[in-house]
Structure 1
Amino acid sequence: MKNYDSIIVGGGISGLLSALVLSKSGKNVLLLEKNRNLGNNCNSYLVNGYQVDTGPHAITQLHDGGPLRYLMENYFDYVPAFVDYGDYFIRDEDGLKEVPTTLKGYLTMDMLPRKDRLIIAQSLTKLLLSWQFGNDLSNISVYQCLPWNALSSDTQEFMDTFSYFLSGKQAKETSVQRMFVGSGFIGEDIEKDITSENSEHKYNDRFKRLSYVSRLLNNNKVDYNQYYPRNGLKAILNAILYSLPETVEIKTGTAVEQIITENNIAKGVLTKEESYFADTIIYSAFAKDLPKYITDLPESYISDLSRIKQSKALTIWLGLDETFEEFNYTGGEVWFKDKPFWAMPISNYNKNFAPKGKKLVGFMFSINEGNSLESEKLEAYNTILRVYPGINNYIEMIHYQITIPEKASVSINGFIADTVTPVRNLYLVGTDVDDRSMGITRAAYSIIKLIKSLRIDGFIIEL
């Protein structure tokens, strides 16, 4: 039996970042991952000569002061290279058009009926002004904010599609506030966040709201501030692994069966092979599954965790002959009619992702869990063939992925857990612990909260 300063349950991006922060703070760390590979949704691998990511990704808030940038500058020994993500487009039968980021953009978005555009612009203006003056819109849905039945079916699908890509849920379950902050347009002062005595993040302070509203209403294009790792998601994973000190012990293929507690204090974990003990336990698996590992959690906490909502995604990766010209851009595109998807031609960031003369494009779809996976795959694939006539003549490789993009959807009446749990010395990290931004950036925000909590509790000190 070996004792550690900290044990981390789960080897995804959040668990690995936790291990990096703790070890660089002088702690002896054990990380346990039930799968053979590390990284989970932050990884890349080869399929017939193509390097695919675990779903299409855009890294938000990579500017100075962003959460991942802060962690890289303070804890990484090697920082991967990033390239500008590019633009977002909407595709319809007439081709590609840029996603509007200004009020004028919404008014001139001619793929939707003029009447609907006016309704969206008027509703958006009203809500932005309300939000600017400090009103909490987090429990008001996009659906509630619009005269839904007065909108055309195309506009309803448009709003549902963008709601899903921001929150993992449709317009009825997506807060209008998420429409303003979900893509990471509004940055954070991470240094201030960590050192503030207030334990709650306040990413919607008056100045930030005013700045965003001013740009939108004055038709100043919003900067996406999004990037992509030049060598794929595995570049972030490899940079973390390279930066881990020898004080981190990693065991893959090792599933935790129980978190050991005594008098409501976390003491260690039990695996099939052995028990391990530590001063703190960092749990980076699904928060909603925590009751499986601890039998005496408070009933109210179990009830809260049960309210966590999730969504599954299907990604279809296609290897194409480079002469198919529909994807000669950098960035991402959204198709919002019928079977919506987000497409991203990632080999345009790095030609080495595809064999010479080929290109690689990822298409991400939401999954209707009432249908079988095979029917969802077939419908999604047929949608691609319908949206891009003739593409079947250029397809060389097809690869399917089923993922849970984020551990908790940021939806109305859902639940986002806190870093600190009712069990002393047990902390949570991951995309079910923080609702800011999305994906890897959201995971990085949860690590910022962990750092703050551990400093308040006196477990780690300043670097």
Structure 2
Amino acid sequence: MKKIKDKYEVVIIGSGMAGLSCGLMLAMEGKSVCILEKNAQIGGTLQTFKRDGGKFDTGVHYVGGLDEGQPLYPYFKYLDIFKDIDIMKLDENAYDIISFDGDDNLYPHAQGYDNFIDQLVRYFPDERENLVRYLDDVQALCKKFALYNVYDLPAKANELEYMYDGAAQRIRTYTSNEKLQQVLAGSNILYAGEEEKTPFYVHALIINSYIMSSYKFHHGGSQISRSLNYSIKERGGNIVRNAEVTSINHNDNTVESVTLADGRTLKGDIFISNVHPTETIKLMDQSRMRKSYLSRIAHLENTVSVFTLYLVLKPNTVKYINSNQYNFKDGDVWQLTNYKPENWGKDFAVFYLPDNKNPEYASVITVMAYMKIEEMTPWLKTFNTTLQESERDESYQNFKELKAQFLLDRISQIIPDIRSKIKSYHTSTPLTQRDYLNTTDGSLYGISRDYNFPLKSQINTRTKMKNMYFTGQNIILHGILGATISSVVTCAEILGRDYLLKKIKSVL
């Protein structure tokens, strides 16, 4: 086991994007930092893995807003990540493709506001003015959210007033063309969009960043976690893998230490949890906490989970497509999470990576379809991680094979004869998400946002303990951008908002 000190100024539970970013920002301020990761790999959804010569991302398939002057750029610049990543720009005329069974059109989402409109007007010639109104409102809304763009911070942020708008409902106000409504929301697998719940601000913040610019990480999202890892260690920080926290030890208002599975105890002045709030609370002495707070955290609704099919391709068999594709069977993009077991997999997303030796062809393909944790009921009490390996029974393997075959049939609709081009295929389920990422019910994007009750899903980075903070996708927004902003919000509470923002702006 890696040697660790008895006490650090900052102890961080979880090494996802936000946990690592917090660790680096605080280490840059001279604080002694220790990050505890229960698994063998750091990075959370930044992790990559290899199978049969193919390299796959677990969660970060592409990223938006990375060019200078855009939302993610100043944070990556401040954290000095650019020196360590190899990025490739997606097709400027179609970073995303939205397609529907029975419709031969491939509807593009393009990079650049004017280009986004121009590409869609080819399919919807009478909708230019409506698309202009839509994008004007998306941009205006994004400018009102603090820390979304540090170049142009709002004088006063009152974000709550914009949280009562539904995405599906708002999109309908821009156009009566039902197909265009579906196309505009066609990438909503990125945020588990639900017609009667998803706020417009979630849609706007996410799609706006991709319209600004869209990139893939050529060698996977783990480049980011490696960069943060090296930078933290250069500043004397400690990242400990295979270090599962089993209890957070505290009195009525202060956390004193954490205990690890091997019995070791670490004291700290400041504690940050990059783990889901519900899972964090389970590690604490709940008898010392208000029942109303416990109830609220325990009853947070979470986004759906996912089943993923990973395809290793035979060399030079599938042409590389520099776009992501979202395909829908029934033409309704808002029913992704409302599937019935018998029609699971009807809607799916496809992500390609090029072959390093011959980039005209794809080396691997990742196919994702939402899956509810209820489908995992027979195996919920089984756990399988690097530290705690457990062979799940034959019924689980049969279940995964059945779903894999169904998805192979589905993607044959857009990649003909795909089966003959596959070298091998591999799968993951909601249990994989749960076990390796420590998310409640394997939730893909953490806490579900609901425009009907926006306050219900708002989690403050400050906790009931005066020296403990939350960070991560559950605080502001999910994804690389959301997790990074949440880390800034967390560190701003510790270091001072004006002080930290001045530091970030100083590198621009």
Fold-level match, TM-score > 0.5? yes
Residue in 1 that maps onto 2:329: 337
Displacement after TM superposition at 1:39 (Å): 1.4
Q: Is the 8 A contact 2:349 2:367 kept in 1?
A: yes
Residue in 2 that maps onto 1:346: 353
Instruction: Pick the aligned partner of 2:96 from 80, 88, 91.
Output: 88
- The TM-score normalised by the length of structure 2 is 0.70
SS of structure 2 residue aligned to 1:36: coil
Residue in 1 that maps onto 2:123: 109
Displacement after TM superposition at 1:53 (Å): 1.0
Q: AA paired with 2:303? A: Q
In structure 1, C-alpha distance between the alignment counterparts of 2:139 and 2:33, rounded to whole Å: 48
Instruction: Pick the aligned partner of 2:276 from 263, 275, 286.
Output: 286
Give the aligned CA root-mean-square deviation in angstroms: 3.9
In structure 1, C-alpha distance between the alignment counterparts of 2:138 and 2:211, rounded to whole Å: 18
Q: Is the 8 A contact 2:354 2:361 kept in 1?
A: no
Instruction: Pick the aligned partner of 2:251 from 230, 242, 262.
Output: 262
Question: Which region of structure 1 is more displaced relative to structure 2, 154-163 or 268-277?
Answer: 154-163
Residue in 1 that maps onto 2:189: 164
In structure 2, C-alpha distance between the alignment counterparts of 1:420 and 1:173, rounded to whole Å: 26
Q: Is the 8 A contact 2:6 2:267 kept in 1?
A: yes
| CA separation of 1:342 and 1:357: change in aligned 2, threshold 3 A | closer
In structure 1, C-alpha distance between the alignment counterparts of 2:208 and 2:171, rounded to whole Å: 23
Residue in 1 that maps onto 2:305: 312
Question: Which region of structure 1 is more displaced relative to structure 2, 275-284 or 237-246?
Answer: 237-246
Q: AA paired with 2:123? A: M
In structure 2, C-alpha distance between the alignment counterparts of 1:152 and 1:66, rounded to whole Å: 31
Residue in 2 that maps onto 1:401: 428
Displacement after TM superposition at 1:456 (Å): 2.6
Residues 3-42 of structure 1 aligned to structure 2 (within 5 Å): 3-42=7-46
Displacement after TM superposition at 1:332 (Å): 1.2
Q: In the TM superposition, what whole-angstrom CA distance separates every residue of 1:348-373 from its partner, at most 9, and x where no partner exists?
A: 6x448x9x976212222212444456
Q: In the TM superposition, what whole-angstrom CA distance separates every residue of 1:90-141 from its partner, at most 9, and x where no partner exists?
A: 234526331366566656536xxx99x8998699599779969989442232
Q: AA paired with 1:178? A: V
Question: Which region of structure 1 is more displaced relative to structure 2, 383-392 or 274-283?
Answer: 383-392
In structure 1, C-alpha distance between the alignment counterparts of 2:176 and 2:17, rounded to whole Å: 41
Question: Which region of structure 1 is more displaced relative to structure 2, 275-284 or 411-420?
Answer: 411-420
Q: In the TM superposition, what whole-angstrom CA distance separates every residue of 1:189-237 from its partner, at most 9, and x where no partner exists?
A: xxxxxxxxxxxxxxxxxxxxxxxxxxxxxxxxx9431222232212112
SS of structure 2 residue aligned to 1:14: helix
Residue in 1 that maps onto 2:153: none
In structure 2, C-alpha distance between the alignment counterparts of 1:164 and 1:461, rounded to whole Å: 32
Residue in 1 that maps onto 2:383: none
In structure 2, C-alpha distance between the alignment counterparts of 1:351 and 1:139, rounded to whole Å: 49
| CA separation of 1:182 and 1:75: change in aligned 2, threshold 3 A | closer
Residues 125-204 of structure 1 aligned to structure 2 (within 5 Å): 136-145=161-170, 161-165=186-190, 167-185=191-209
Question: Which region of structure 1 is more displaced relative to structure 2, 172-181 or 8-17?
Answer: 172-181
Residues 411-426 of structure 1 aligned to structure 2 (within 5 Å): 411-412=450-451, 413=453, 415-426=457-468
Residue in 2 that maps onto 1:440: 480
In structure 1, C-alpha distance between the alignment counterparts of 2:292 and 2:69, rounded to whole Å: 36
Residue in 1 that maps onto 2:218: 230
Q: AA paired with 1:94? A: D
In structure 2, C-alpha distance between the alignment counterparts of 1:130 and 1:63, rounded to whole Å: 19
Q: Is the 8 A contact 1:161 1:340 kept in 2?
A: no
In structure 1, C-alpha distance between the alignment counterparts of 2:14 and 2:413, rounded to whole Å: 40
User: What number of residue pairs does the alignment pair up?
Assistant: 415
Please list every run of 5 or more consecutive structure 2 residues that lacks an aligned counterpart in the other structure.
145-158, 331-345, 377-398, 434-442, 504-508
Q: AA paired with 1:45? A: F
SS of structure 2 residue aligned to 1:443: helix
Q: AA paired with 2:19? A: G
Q: In the TM superposition, what whole-angstrom CA distance separates every residue of 1:121-178 from its partner, at most 9, and x where no partner exists?
A: 6995997799699894422323444779x9999788767753333x213222212333
SS of structure 2 residue aligned to 1:417: coil
In structure 1, C-alpha distance between the alignment counterparts of 2:132 and 2:66, rounded to whole Å: 32
Q: Is the 8 A contact 1:168 1:410 kept in 2?
A: no
Q: In the TM superposition, what whole-angstrom CA distance separates every residue of 1:3-33 from its partner, at most 9, and x where no partner exists?
A: 1101010122222222212222111112111
- The TM-score normalised by the length of structure 1 is 0.76
| CA separation of 1:130 and 1:430: change in aligned 2, threshold 3 A | closer
SS of structure 2 residue aligned to 1:363: strand
Question: Which region of structure 1 is more displaced relative to structure 2, 396-405 or 129-138?
Answer: 129-138
Question: Which region of structure 1 is more displaced relative to structure 2, 299-308 or 34-43?
Answer: 299-308
Q: AA paired with 1:244? A: I
Q: Is the 8 A contact 1:310 1:409 kept in 2?
A: yes
Please list every run of 5 or more consecutive structure 1 residues that lacks an aligned counterpart in the other structure.
186-221
In structure 1, C-alpha distance between the alignment counterparts of 2:47 and 2:163, rounded to whole Å: 32
Q: Which has the higher contact order (CA 8 A, sep 6+)?
A: 1
Q: Is the 8 A contact 1:321 1:358 kept in 2?
A: no
Q: In the TM superposition, what whole-angstrom CA distance separates every residue of 1:290-337 from its partner, at most 9, and x where no partner exists?
A: 220221333343344332422212222212235445x43312121122
In structure 2, C-alpha distance between the alignment counterparts of 1:123 and 1:74, rounded to whole Å: 34
Residues 233-244 of structure 1 aligned to structure 2 (within 5 Å): 233-244=221-232
Q: Is the 8 A contact 2:65 2:71 kept in 1?
A: yes
| CA separation of 1:322 and 1:358: change in aligned 2, threshold 3 A | farther
Displacement after TM superposition at 1:426 (Å): 0.5
SS of structure 2 residue aligned to 1:41: helix
Instruction: Pick the aligned partner of 1:365 from 345, 364, 369.
Output: 369
In structure 1, C-alpha distance between the alignment counterparts of 2:85 and 2:37, rounded to whole Å: 24
Q: Is the 8 A contact 2:107 2:120 kept in 1?
A: no
